[in-house]
Structure 1
Amino acid sequence: MKKTNIIIADDDKAIRVVLETALKRSGYDVSMTENAAGLWGLVQENFADLIITDVVMPDENAFDLIPKIKKLNPNLPIIVMSAQNTLMTAITANELGAFDYLPKPFDIKELLSIVNRAISEKNKSNEKISLDNGEDIFPLIGRSKPMQEIYRVMARLMHSDLTVLITGESGTGKELIAKALHEFGDRKDSTFVPINMAAIPRELIESELFGHEKGSFTGAIDKKIGKFQIADGGTLFLDEIGDMPIDAQTRLLRVLQEGEFITVGGTTPIKTNVRIIAATNKSLLDQIKIGAFREDLYYRINVIPIILPPLRDRNEDIPALVSHFISKNVISKETNNIDQDALNYLKSYSWPGNIRELENFIKRIVTLYPNESISLELIKEELLGLNANRLSDESTLRSLSDYVDKYLSQFTIDELINDELGLYQSVLVEFERPILNYVMKRTNNNQIKASQILGLNRNTLRKKLRSLKMDVSKL
């Protein structure tokens, strides 16, 4: 029986050897070349059952060669590898009909899994669609491993109408992902309509989504077209869907099930043709447990989940983000330079507001200090002021846990590591004094009552007061 032959095209000899060894061990025949000309020659000789190719080669870009290969052999699966790990690389590979895209460095087990899948699906053709969009339309910046996984999922969704649920903390770029899915998809010539559930009064959400008839409620002096009608043929982005009232959830579920809706105060069903992309910064499973979100709706919208990592979990992307935000916000022709120490400090900061906070911070720096070199001292000074404002804004602190999170966010990893007491002990010391002070004052220094409130025995309470050198007579 004839063995499956795989062509490897990469100008890096080490990668060719690693791939050849792994593929031969798996029972495949392997042909190798270091350039695009060699790849094209092997394809013309009909040697290939599958191709694994790098994008950038000495003589030609593989993306320029793939259309020729597909014209010659439309059913030939192509796996694209690249160290240029951007969203556009993944999208271009997908648009040109590649079976899959794998960012370098790659996991050999994952590659073998993709190869096995490609061979088993060899008879399925890949549609080739030209790509007309420029790389800078949406600044989805980042080459970290978490972002590579997201790019791969997005590339596969570009020509699908499947409902997507994007989950991530505030400021992680959920709307950018939704826009990219729309702008690079089949509905790009129609409307992208965003609506933020958290920004609309709860009693008006159904009217905003589905529209209303004149006189349907107090204040409805005219007929209103809803977002579903505006987005017809395009994409409706339901941001912060976790804040949608239960009644509106029920109506949304009906739209997803039946493809039609009725305006508020109306009687006639209206057909709708929209793609739904939803986003939330909440755990919808937790919302289901407390009865705030419908379980059946959750499974309707969570067909394809995309989980966006917080910036602290992809801090290797911060230098590229900073460079982009400096270029975007620079006032004069001279671009601000940033010291490496300053960049390292920004990478070590926790960024509780994620990309949005980083962008606003860089915008502030560029505006206040035009044409100046951005130094470590400047970054520290501005971040200190930022944290002071955050800690003083008690309206944003919903719980003690929130306060602790905000307090800890002002420290870098290096500062936490160099804490002589250790983080846990330092937090306990900071916490014990104010709570003991509060309870002793409220009980008029009655140690019996204080120990009952604190859940401590009297001897333990006395020891803590002595260790903290708290003079109860002066409280």
Structure 2
Amino acid sequence: MGATILVADDDRAIRTVLTQALARLGHEVRSAGNAATLWRWVSEGQGDLVITDVVMPDENGLDLIPRIKRTRPDLRIIVMSAQNTLLTAVKAAERGAFDYLPKPFDLKELVAMVQKALSSPRPPVEPVPLPPVEAEEETLPLIGRSPAMQEIYRVLARLMGTDLTVMVTGESGTGKELVARALHDYGKRREGPFVAINMAAIPRELIESELFGHEKGAFTGATMRSTGRFEQAQGGTLFLDEIGDMPLEAQTRLLRVLQEGEYTTVGGRTPIKTDVRIVAATHRDLRTLIRQGLFREDLFYRLNVVPIRIPPLRERTEDIQALVRHFFHLATHQGLPLKSMDNAAMERMKRHRWPGNVRELENMVRRLAALYAQEVIGLDVIEQELAEAAPASQPAEEPVNEGLGAAVERHLKEYFAAHKDGVPAAGLYDRVLREVERPLLSLSLLATKGNQIKAAHLLGLNRNTLRKKIRELDIQVVRGLK
């Protein structure tokens, strides 16, 4: 049997299209051009499903949802809106809407959404109240109204009231950390801390100490207890950036934490319960790393509960105008004059490939605001800027014939820069030595096929010394080989 569907939209054409499409499916459709009529029907007990616009002449459709849910909590509501920003999607979800559909919408998609709303039971979810947020686009963490961004908004809105682990993928500069921050700032853990750690910026041997902390005396130089990122993020969100660069040893320990919900500090014995939401991110293809034996498949599935792909800027060029306006506005907060861009310049921006994605675009717009006197940026300026930026837009090349000392120095500079105050935890000297020592011993054992006598000779070490170091560094020797 067909259902009774209540439609509220001040656009007569949309009401007509929806009425005809849903009637062909056997449903009875009642449509109105205002919120008052919709509320009257709902309060009288009419309707099995509501489809409502946001902006109507007498009341905002989002403001009507809480009243509908208090009166008829089982009534499903689909929200449509031309104000298709992340904030609209989040507000619709947290106030109890079944789903959100940006305008202009695909009629087949709406029909499928209606059928899903009518057929699938929805367990009651207590809405998560949003903090007061201005509705201006400039205040939003994510900018863009392209179809690709709309899908991301809808996924984020569904995740706000959950603790599901999320894997964010995308090229460098696309805004993966912004997605993680949006999940935190608009989710139920927003009162807790947001802690980020970049795996690519930390020496491999220091990652376990950084993540889980260490006890006093855990190793030479550990003169005091140091808290790890898991402890710092307790009750909040832990963002594991560039998870594809995490060494296998740390992957094993992280998997254990995700499975058991507890961990021990380096040198500690007492398990510590953890209560954090994990959001991971990478620009690398983890499935390829799994095939290469560089990433654990079981950890991948633990992290990839909800995958979110952030498209590169070249796949959403329709968002460039909004992003340029946003970055020009942000530049005014730094004392720079407000600028704009003429149509020819904007079209040229849309044709650029943007290999550095949104980060490259932001840097260019800030440069335009700072260096040029004209209020309206023209095509000549954009051509000049893109020509000068072209070499810098190419991927950075790996150092050629870089010595070990230079490589270590470069790596340590990145590690120091990853800390806000530029000062890592105590015991750095021994941790760095361990970082160099473990791969040296592991590779030597691999080269000698696990033969510890040959490995000791290769390293110039006494065999007993090598055995001791294997135990201390917890190095796995290939089973069956000696």
Q: TM-score range by the shorter chain?
A: 0.7 to 0.9
Match of 1:265 in 2: 267
Counterpart AA for 1:102: L
Match of 2:369 in 1: 366
- Kindly indicate whether residue 313 of structure 2 is the aligned counterpart of residue 311 of structure 1: yes
1:87-106 residue CA offsets vs partner (Å, 9 max, x unmatched):
00000000110110011122
Match of 2:249 in 1: 247
Match of 1:140 in 2: 142
Match of 2:30 in 1: 31
- Kindly indicate whether residue 179 of structure 2 is the aligned counterpart of residue 180 of structure 1: no
- State the Cα distance separating 1:125 from its structure 2 match: 3.4
Q: 1:15-414 alignment to 2 at 5 Å? A: 15-121=14-120, 124-134=123-133, 135=135, 137-330=139-332, 332=335, 334-390=337-393, 394-395=397-398
Match of 2:469 in 1: none
SS at match of 2:167: strand
Q: What TM-score comes out, normalization by structure 1 length? A: 0.80
Structure 1 residue runs of 5 or longer lacking an equivalent are: 399-475
Aligned residues with identical type, % of pairs:
59
Deviation larger for 331-340 or 267-276: 331-340
Contact 2:355 2:394 (8 Å CA) reproduced = no
Contact 1:75 1:122 (8 Å CA) reproduced = no
Counterpart AA for 1:15: I
Match of 1:10 in 2: 9
Deviation larger for 255-264 or 118-127: 118-127
Contact 1:133 1:184 (8 Å CA) reproduced = no
Quick one: structure 1 residues 122 and 32, their matched pair in 2 at CA, closer, same or farther if it must change by over 3 Å? farther
**d(CA) in 1 for partners of 2:392, 2:3:** 64
Contact 1:75 1:124 (8 Å CA) reproduced = no
Contact 1:49 1:77 (8 Å CA) reproduced = yes
- State the Cα distance separating 1:217 from its structure 2 match: 2.4
Deviation larger for 31-40 or 133-142: 133-142
Quick one: structure 1 residues 17 and 89, their matched pair in 2 at CA, closer, same or farther if it must change by over 3 Å? same
Quick one: structure 1 residues 258 and 391, their matched pair in 2 at CA, closer, same or farther if it must change by over 3 Å? closer
- State the Cα distance separating 1:27 from its structure 2 match: 1.4
**d(CA) in 1 for partners of 2:78, 2:399:** 48
**d(CA) in 2 for partners of 1:197, 1:237:** 10
- State the Cα distance separating 1:162 from its structure 2 match: 0.7
Contact 1:99 1:126 (8 Å CA) reproduced = no
Counterpart AA for 1:46: G
1:320-365 residue CA offsets vs partner (Å, 9 max, x unmatched):
0000000101355741121111111111101001001100111111
SS at match of 1:224: coil
- State the Cα distance separating 1:215 from its structure 2 match: 2.5
Contact 2:51 2:80 (8 Å CA) reproduced = yes
Counterpart AA for 2:112: S
Deviation larger for 118-127 or 307-316: 118-127
Quick one: structure 1 residues 381 and 100, their matched pair in 2 at CA, closer, same or farther if it must change by over 3 Å? same
Quick one: structure 1 residues 397 and 66, their matched pair in 2 at CA, closer, same or farther if it must change by over 3 Å? farther
**d(CA) in 1 for partners of 2:336, 2:214:** 50
**d(CA) in 1 for partners of 2:398, 2:370:** 28
**d(CA) in 2 for partners of 1:369, 1:397:** 38
- State the Cα distance separating 1:395 from its structure 2 match: 4.5
Quick one: structure 1 residues 46 and 258, their matched pair in 2 at CA, closer, same or farther if it must change by over 3 Å? same
- State the Cα distance separating 1:139 from its structure 2 match: 2.8
Contact 1:311 1:355 (8 Å CA) reproduced = yes
Quick one: structure 1 residues 86 and 312, their matched pair in 2 at CA, closer, same or farther if it must change by over 3 Å? same
Quick one: structure 1 residues 266 and 222, their matched pair in 2 at CA, closer, same or farther if it must change by over 3 Å? same
- State the Cα distance separating 1:375 from its structure 2 match: 0.8
Q: Higher relative CO (CA 8 A, sep ≥ 6), structure 1 or 2?
A: 2
SS at match of 1:53: strand
Match of 1:457 in 2: none
- State the Cα distance separating 1:109 from its structure 2 match: 2.0
Structure 2 residue runs of 5 or longer lacking an equivalent are: 402-482
**d(CA) in 2 for partners of 1:19, 1:354:** 38
**d(CA) in 1 for partners of 2:139, 2:337:** 23
SS at match of 2:382: helix
Q: Higher Cα Rg: structure 1 or 2?
A: 1
- State the Cα distance separating 1:123 from its structure 2 match: 6.4
- State the Cα distance separating 1:42 from its structure 2 match: 1.7
SS at match of 2:341: coil
Quick one: structure 1 residues 59 and 245, their matched pair in 2 at CA, closer, same or farther if it must change by over 3 Å? same
Q: CA RMSD in A?
A: 1.9
**d(CA) in 1 for partners of 2:69, 2:376:** 50
**d(CA) in 2 for partners of 1:127, 1:112:** 27
1:376-397 residue CA offsets vs partner (Å, 9 max, x unmatched):
1001101111113445965589
